[in-house]
Amino acid sequence: MTSTSIPVDILRVILKYLDRADLVKICQLNKICCSCSQDILYRKVLFEDVLVCRALAQSTHLARRVRSFKSMGKPPELSKALQNMTSLRDLTLFDSGSSSILENCVFNLDSFTCDFSYDKSLRQFLEHQSSITYVCLLRLYEPSEPFELTRLPNLTRVAAPSFLLPHLIPGRPVIEVDSIGGLHVGDSIDLSHYTLSTTPIRKLTINFLLLYPHHGHILASIFPSLTHLNIGIHNSLFSMQIVRLLSFLFILLIYL
């Protein structure tokens, strides 16, 4: 049986089991094998070198095959490569300079992770990403100007510093929240915005100091449908009082 006689759907299944080196060889057989192999080779691009980014910037037919792109640093062709990835759904960018590199991008993301500053360019980008269900904003410094977001109607999972959560949770169907970053003893934190999700929050990762000033019955009213809880302890004194309260919280969740 020749390669051209294999149905394309069967060929795609076979190619999924090949490693990268074999896929590159398959690309040299014929046009059909090349096209199917490239679909797999470029579907997920993970922290690749500058040559891959250059190829995506120079070739639209390769770039439009990318569904997931994760990059660290700022190759010279990064902005153009992102503009060419019209079918991109999952994007992660670390140390990539300014969020202005996202300007003129036309993809509609499901998932977005970045460590950009909370500036106007990032806000405008997010406002136009109506299909996003997961957003992870890793910058721990508060914005110099208000970072208010009015859209993101399908947001269900959020990972962000506590000062951004009042702008990300209310009015959206958020069911999973990861409050990242450390706090200091005595910080005044308002948890009321957690109740403003249009659906009950079921999974929560939170700094222990956010929970410390609140009594058990208040926590139960804020998170009545919680099924998963992860508690981090940052910048706090590990006193016996805190240990006892932490134990109480776990016991409380068992009986909810």
Chain segment 56-100, per-residue pLDDT in tens? 999 999 999 999 999 998 888 999 999 999 999 999 999 998 999
37 shares its domain with 47: no
Domain interval for residue 21? 1-41
Confidence of residue 33 (pLDDT cuts 50, 70, 90): confident
Q: Order of strands across the sheet with 134-137?
A: 44-46, 68-72, 90-94, 111-114, 134-137, 157-161, 176-180, 203-207, 228-232
36 shares its domain with 64: no
| Rg, the chain, Cα only | 23
Confidence of residue 171 (pLDDT cuts 50, 70, 90): very high
Give which of 162, 155, 158, 169 is closest to 188, Cα–Cα.
162
pTM to 2 decimals?
0.80
Give CA–CA dist 82/86, Å, rounded. 8
CATH number of the domain within which 239 lies: 3.80.10
User: For residues 118 and 164, is the Cβ–Cβ distance under 8 A?
Assistant: yes
From residue 217, how far is each of 19, 222, 236 by CA, in Å?
54, 9, 23
33 shares its domain with 47: no
Task: Look at the chain and report how many structural domains it folds into.
Answer: 2
33 shares its domain with 116: no
Q: What is the pLDDT of residue 239?
A: 47
117 shares its domain with 242: yes
Pairing between strand 44-46 and 68-72?
A: parallel
